[in-house]
Amino acid sequence: MQLIGLKVGQKGVVTGIKLNLQARKKLLTFGVGLGSILQLSYNPAYSSLINLMINGKSFCIRKMDAELIEVIKYEDR
C-alpha cells in the first residue's frame, strides 16, 4: 500500500521508495529508509502536505511524494 493510504494515527513500515536519488537522500536525513517505522500524524484534505512522525520527530512531505513510498501496516504488540 502507499504511505498516503494510512489513516491518521496508523503506523507503517517502509518497504519501498520509488523517488529519485536526491529525494531519497533527503528522506534519509530524516531517518526514512527501508524498514523504518512511520506514523501519519496529520493529513488535511485541503493541503498538498502530510505530516509524518518518526523517532519522535515530526516533518512534512508532499502527498505526491507520499504516493511513491510503499508501506505495510505496523501493529504494536
Domains of the chain: 3-74 (2.30.30.90)
**Residues 40-60, mean pLDDT to the nearest whole number:** 93
What predicted TM-score, i.e. pTM, was given to this entire model? 0.90
pLDDT of residue 74: 94
pLDDT band at 65 (very low <50, low <70, confident <90, very high): very high
Written in H, E and C, the secondary structure of the chain is: CEHHHCCCCCEEEEEEECCCHHHHHHHHHCCCCCCCEEEEEECCCCCCEEEEEECCEEEEEEHHHHCCEEEEEECCC
